[in-house]
Structures are given as C-alpha cells and as structure tokens.
Structure 1
Amino acid sequence: MLHLLKIDGAHVATPLLAAIDLIKNGARHSVPTDFLRRTSKWHQHLKMQQPSDQRLWEVAVLFHLRDAFRSGDIWLAQSKRYGDLKQVLVPATTAAANARLAVPLDPEQWLADRHAQMEIGLEKLSKAAKRGTIPGGAIEDGVLQLSRLPTQNPNGAADLLFDLYKRVPDTRITDIMLLVDDATGFTDAFTHLRTGAPPKDRIGLLNVLLSEGLNLGLSKMAKASNSHGFWELMRISRWHIESEA
C-alpha cells in the first residue's frame, strides 16, 4: 500500500519518512527509532522485540504515520483530507491586496509594535507597583498577586433568566435543524458517494450529524433515537458523511 502513496512531509518528519522508505524497500534492514519521542512507550515495547522480527517496529512506524497525517506533518499529494496544509493558506499577494487586515504583512514590523507596547505596559506596571496602586492586585515577596473579580449580577437577573427558560417551548434539536435545512438546504450537500443523489432520509442524516458534532457516537445515538437503529445510522454515515482521503 505504501508504494501507491505519494507521501511527503515537513522537515520534522524526515526520520519518519526514512523509516517509511525502509518498509517500502522490503529488504532486511536496521530498525531506527529516531522518529520516536524520547518519552514514547514504543521504546520499551521495541526493546522486547526479537532482533529477527521487525513486525512490531513496522506497527510503530504505521502508528506514527497515522498521527503525522492527523497533525499535518506528513501529507499526500492530491488529497483533500490529508493534503498539504499550505494549500489552504491565502496567497501572500492576495493578502497584500486586502486592505482590511488588522496586522501588517511584515512580521518584524508587527513584533516591533508589540515590543513597544509591552515596554509601555511594563513601565506603567512598575510605577503602579512602587506606589502600591496596581488595580486589583499587589506584588508580595516578588510575586504578582491578582484578586479575583467579584461576580456582579444585576438584581432580578436570575428571575429573568428562569422566566425566559419557561417561555421557550420544548423543541427537539432535529426539528430546529429541519427548519434550518428548509431555509438553507444544507443537507443537499451530503450527496451519496457513488450516485451523487441527495439524502432521502433527512432525519437519519441529522442524527448522524448530531452524533458526530457531539462526539456521541452512532451506538449511543441509536439508543437515544426512537426512529433509527445503529445499522441504519451506520449506512447513512458510510454513504453520505464519510469523505474520501
């Protein structure tokens, strides 16, 4: 499989890329571990590996390859999910033409401005410390102590909040999402991966989206739903939610 992937990466991933090349070659080789972190538990596992058996080392490489794809240290050419993160950055020429930028394009200019503001702020803090007039704090034994700001709620705020909650009708979140879908048609974007047809089961699709957004999982969502079982949600997720790498 690795032979079919055009893998590239940042400089920090060079040791991992070298380990991947060793696996691609297929010949007997040493098992470098410089792609592992110093505190990685894989060091202990690999010490227990037989010298003639490299399978555990290959598993460690693949695990780190997965993590590198997720972090963006390694990317695949022409991939949507695991492509080079630089491809989503705004070109410098486009950014320069945008007059609404809140920061200058030159990082040195921005750092110099931040440094000047920090110097002014530290000078004000030094004068306030000498006078003992630091707002909401003081320096004791060389340590800056800040007092917690008191909570100030207007009178009657709690009663108003409870009254507002009573006025809000009990509504299913899927009903709200259906209203949003009627106005925007966002569910039409989740087309079938093979046929390209829009989803027919909108309630099931919304349940899957909720389970993903809440990090609930399809199993728990199926238990909480009175309209769809696990395998129905799994089918919708597989054909309408998951995107190709």
Structure 2
Amino acid sequence: MLQHIDRLKLLQAVDLPAGLDRLVHRNRLLKIAREGGQMTPHDLAKFEPQRRHATLAASVMEATATVTDEIVELHDRIVGRLFNTAKKKHQERFQRAGKAINDKVRLFGKLGRALLKAKEDGVDAFKAIESVISWDAFTQSVTEAEQLAQPEAFDLLHEIGDHYATLRRYVPAFLEVLKLRAAPAAVDVLDAINTIRTMDSDGTRKLPADAPTRFIKPRWRPLVFTNAGLERRYYELCALSELKNALRSGDVWVQGSRQFKDFDDYLLPAEKFQAIRRENLLPLPITTDCEQYLLERRQLLEQRLETVNRLAAANDLPDAIITDSGLKITPLDAVVPDAAEALIGQTALMLPRVKITELLMEVDAWTGFTSHFTHLKTGETTQDKTLLLTTILADAINLGLTKMAEACPGTTYAKLAWLQAWHIRDETYSQALAELVNAQHVHPFAAHWGDGTTSSSDGQRFRAGGRAQSTGHVNPKYGAEPGRMYTGFGRKALWLDDADVVQHTRQVERLDVAEPK
C-alpha cells in the first residue's frame, strides 16, 4: 500500500491542469497512453514537442487513474479483511468458552430452581443458595461469569480495535494523497475523514470536542462514546469503515480515479444535454417521454403475461409447468447415450492429427481473425502471421515468451516481445474472439447446440496467501480462504502490495465478447 501511495505522489507531482482529460475523448486518450507506454525515452524524443507532451500527459493521467483505483481497492480489501478476522476471532473465543458457559448456565438453572422452591416453602434465600453451592464457590463463579460475559450487544466490533495499528501504518498517507469529494448523503463521513486528516497533519492525538459524529451508526456508539469523551481508535475505525461503504455506493468519489469517479462524469454536461433535448436530438432508440415509455412497457408486459397464462392453462409451457405448488422446471438430462459415446470414439479416430500451428493458420484462412491484431500506433496488421500466432499460442498455453522462443527455431524473444507489445492487447483479443464466435454462429453445424443466446463458462481460481493475503478477494463459494476467480483468457499486470512485498504476476481475465452478428 505505501509503495502504491508513493507512486501516486510521484504522479501527482507532475501537476497536470485539472480537467485536462475532458478535452479529449476517453478512447483516444487511452490509445495515446498505451502507445506511450510501449515507447522508450529515445522514441519519445523523436516526436515534435506538442505530440511528445500529449503522449506524456496521457500516460500520466492513465497511470494516475490506475494507481488511484488500486489504492482504493486495497483499502477496501484490508478493511474487509479486518472485519473477517474480527468475526473469526469472536467466534473462536465464544467456542473456547463454550464448556465454561455451559457450566455457568447449568449452575444458574440449579440456583434458580432452589430459589423458586425456597420462596414457595418460605425458606431463607441465602440458605437455599448454600444448599446448592458454597458461598465462596458462588462468589468465584460470579467472578468467572463476569469474565466470560460478552458486550451486551454481542457484537464483534470491539475485536477490530486490536487491529487499529494495521490501519495506522498507511492511513495518514492514504488520506493525504487522495482527493475525496462527497454527495450530500456522505458529507458527514467526509467531514470526519477531514478531521482525521487534520489531526494527522497537526500531530494531534485527542479528537476535538466538535468532531463530526452524525455518521456514527448505533452499533458503533457504545465504543466511540465513552465517559472520557470520544475514543479516537474506534472513531477512526468507524470513519474508515463508513468511507469504504461510501466509496462502494458512489456517495464518495475520488478525483483522478477511473472506477471511483463522480457519477456525473459519466453523463453529458447539463448544458449540452438540455440543448440536445430542446432540439429533440437525443440519440436514443426509445421515446424520451417517461409516461409514454412506461405505458409501452406496461402494455408489453401485459401481452407477455397473457401469453404465459395461455400456455400455462394449456400445459404448453416449454420444459415447465405451473401447479398450485408453484413453478416446476423440467431438469436437463445430461446423460450421454451409449451410442453417442461409441460415435465419439469412432469420430476421433477419423480426425487427422495436425499441428496446432497448422490448425490456427487454417482457421485464420476461414475467418481472418488475425486481421484484428493491429499495430497500436499505425493500425496496420502484421506481415508475419506465423510470429503473431506463435505469440498468441504462448499466451494460450501459459508457456511464456522465453520458453516459446527457445522451443521455436528461428524465433527470438525480442521478436515475440515486440509483437506482443504493439499488436496484442485486450481489445484486439476481444475483436478476434468475436470474429471467431460470429463464424461459429453462422456455421450450420452450430445450430445443433442452440441458437447462440446462452453459453457455458468455466474459470480457474487462484489462491492468495502469505503476508499479502488481505489483498485477495474472498469468494463465498470457497469459504474464508482468499483468492481470485478468472474466466476466459487475456493479459493483465497485477501488483499485490503488502508493505514490503510487491508481486508482479501474469494473470488471465474475462474478455467481453461482442454479440454474434
């Protein structure tokens, strides 16, 4: 985290004019930044000053947005990890004390029964207690019960206080480097964050008497409000937790971020929108009158419901029936017939054994998917398709460029790396994959697997652990063990920071495939 913050400070020191990114279309800005990322200082020196400065500015803005998003996401996962750790610790402590708690409950039952009987018989209550347990043992039992007792709310928040030092390692720098803004719903949270930021910069240890408190939720109040005043540790933990939630909901945004930016930045400027609306030039395929749109939607919904009712009454719903107990869907039969298994084996024997490189070249001859791997700067296709497919194959089988160069005579790592840097990107993979999907979709044989409106996807999970385990996403399907799930294939660089550790990894990620034409 601290290394990410240092990177962001370095980028902010460039001090680009505010709003510079609004002067250029987002896609154009991204293209310039990617082009600059592939160039050496020697290459940039060949540009005329205006183009060189534009390329550097685009690269700085793109890097600033990327690092800012990574910092916010790391904070989100660290805070989430603290809550998970506190929950686990809370449960383990309760389980360890289970036998002692059970003994105390059983003793309470015996004492209660003895006191009830003493009241009925008119016997002294103290003698009734001593008939069950000696007074010294009773006194000791009360002391043990007080030690076993959890807070009245039986909440885990008091456990989080033990991890306050973890946050303090980076929070002052974290709040200093981020430029936060808030919607009216989160103004109180931002005021609290600004109070903490001011205390850190001034070296103040005690919260001011007028510190914002309206953002504090009821479950936090017993910990924050004490007889001695506001407890800074829990006040800060509460504020950082609420900041995490506000960033997720969009009530707080970060200047310079891509993922956590102001929602209004996604929209047309208000003046431009009003002008387009007055001229009735809104580029929308639907009516812009709300009442008319809702009326059309309701009419369509009624038509569809009538169709479903008619089919249900005639018991003609495809693969489903509606009964008094509800909707029942016919399960899919995934059993492969024996005849099909035999046919699979016979068909496999008929297929020729070909090299995968030859197969790729043949598929490219059918579809021309390699034409989408254009040069980042010039937009031209590569003349050496064999080298391009070799680089793609290195990605596909996770072999890497070094081992692929060693396995292919006449190919060098430098050639593969150059082609990968300039021709292979996320968007070129998406376009090429869409070309293949479209070719499959129009092939007559593909109709045997459906109409192409649904798909079955699979993925691979990567475990996260060690000192950087707090930066891994927690998947509910795999329990509390952190990890990440990726579907499809692609290329991306991931930095996992944990104070002193930075891991540079290659990973696969999902690609957004265009709809079949």
Q: Structure 2 length normalisation: TM-score? A: 0.29
1:98-177 equivalent positions in 2, closer than 5 A: 99=283, 101-150=284-333, 167-168=355-356, 171-173=393-395, 174-175=400-401
- For residues 293 and 214 of structure 2, the distance between their equivalents in structure 1, rounded to whole angstroms, comes to 40
- For residues 191 and 497 of structure 2, the distance between their equivalents in structure 1, rounded to whole angstroms, comes to 38
- For residues 344 and 319 of structure 2, the distance between their equivalents in structure 1, rounded to whole angstroms, comes to 27
**Paired residue secondary structure (2:209):** coil
C-alpha contact 2:496 2:504 (8 A) present in aligned 1: no
The percent of aligned pairs where both chains have the same amino acid is: 21
In structure 2, relative to structure 1, the CA distance for the partners of 1:46 and 1:116 (3 Å cut) is: same
Deviation at 1:132, TM superposition (A): 2.0
Deviation at 1:120, TM superposition (A): 0.5
Aligned to 1:201: none
Deviation at 1:19, TM superposition (A): 3.5
Which of the numbers 413, 421, 434 marks the counterpart of 1:181?
A: 421
Does the alignment pair 1:65 with 2:243?
yes
**Paired residue secondary structure (1:172):** helix
C-alpha contact 2:493 2:504 (8 A) present in aligned 1: no
**Paired residue secondary structure (1:28):** coil
Deviation at 1:94, TM superposition (A): 6.2
In structure 2, relative to structure 1, the CA distance for the partners of 1:217 and 1:210 (3 Å cut) is: farther
Aligned to 1:222: none
C-alpha contact 2:224 2:232 (8 A) present in aligned 1: no
In structure 2, relative to structure 1, the CA distance for the partners of 1:181 and 1:138 (3 Å cut) is: same
Which stretch shifts more, 9-18 or 128-137?
9-18
Q: Deviations over 1:190-240 (max 9, x none)?
A: xxxxxxxxxxxxxxxxxxx6342xxx9589xxxxxxxxxx76849xxxxxx
**Paired residue secondary structure (2:317):** coil
Deviation at 1:158, TM superposition (A): 6.5
Does the alignment pair 1:75 with 2:253?
yes
Aligned to 1:27: 208
- Over the aligned positions, Cα root-mean-square deviation in angstroms equals 4.9
Deviation at 1:47, TM superposition (A): 7.3
- For residues 152 and 89 of structure 1, the distance between their equivalents in structure 2, rounded to whole angstroms, comes to 50
Deviation at 1:123, TM superposition (A): 1.0
C-alpha contact 2:319 2:329 (8 A) present in aligned 1: yes
Q: Deviations over 1:97-155 (max 9, x none)?
A: 464x44333444333222111100111111222222222211122412122355699x6
Deviation at 1:57, TM superposition (A): 0.8
- For residues 232 and 97 of structure 1, the distance between their equivalents in structure 2, rounded to whole angstroms, comes to 50
**Paired residue secondary structure (2:322):** strand
- For residues 165 and 218 of structure 1, the distance between their equivalents in structure 2, rounded to whole angstroms, comes to 46
**Paired residue secondary structure (1:75):** strand
Aligned to 2:477: none
Q: Deviations over 1:48-69 (max 9, x none)?
A: 8964522321222023224423
C-alpha contact 1:46 1:57 (8 A) present in aligned 2: yes
Deviation at 1:72, TM superposition (A): 2.2
**Paired residue secondary structure (2:492):** helix
- For residues 33 and 5 of structure 1, the distance between their equivalents in structure 2, rounded to whole angstroms, comes to 23
**Greater share of residues in helix:** 2
- For residues 148 and 126 of structure 1, the distance between their equivalents in structure 2, rounded to whole angstroms, comes to 22
**Paired residue secondary structure (1:105):** coil
- For residues 89 and 70 of structure 1, the distance between their equivalents in structure 2, rounded to whole angstroms, comes to 19
Deviation at 1:31, TM superposition (A): 6.7
- For residues 187 and 214 of structure 2, the distance between their equivalents in structure 1, rounded to whole angstroms, comes to 12
Q: Deviations over 1:153-188 (max 9, x none)?
A: 9x69977899799753593215498434333689xx
Residue 192 of structure 2 aligns with an amino acid whose one-letter code is A
C-alpha contact 2:496 2:503 (8 A) present in aligned 1: no
In structure 2, relative to structure 1, the CA distance for the partners of 1:117 and 1:28 (3 Å cut) is: same
**Paired residue secondary structure (1:148):** coil
In structure 2, relative to structure 1, the CA distance for the partners of 1:123 and 1:87 (3 Å cut) is: same
1:6-45 equivalent positions in 2, closer than 5 A: 7-20=180-193, 23=196, 27-29=208-210, 32=213, 34-36=215-217, 42=220
C-alpha contact 2:223 2:231 (8 A) present in aligned 1: no
Which of the numbers 53, 76, 92 marks the counterpart of 2:231?
A: 53
Residue 183 of structure 1 aligns with an amino acid whose one-letter code is H
Q: Structure 1 length normalisation: TM-score? A: 0.54
Residue 131 of structure 1 aligns with an amino acid whose one-letter code is A
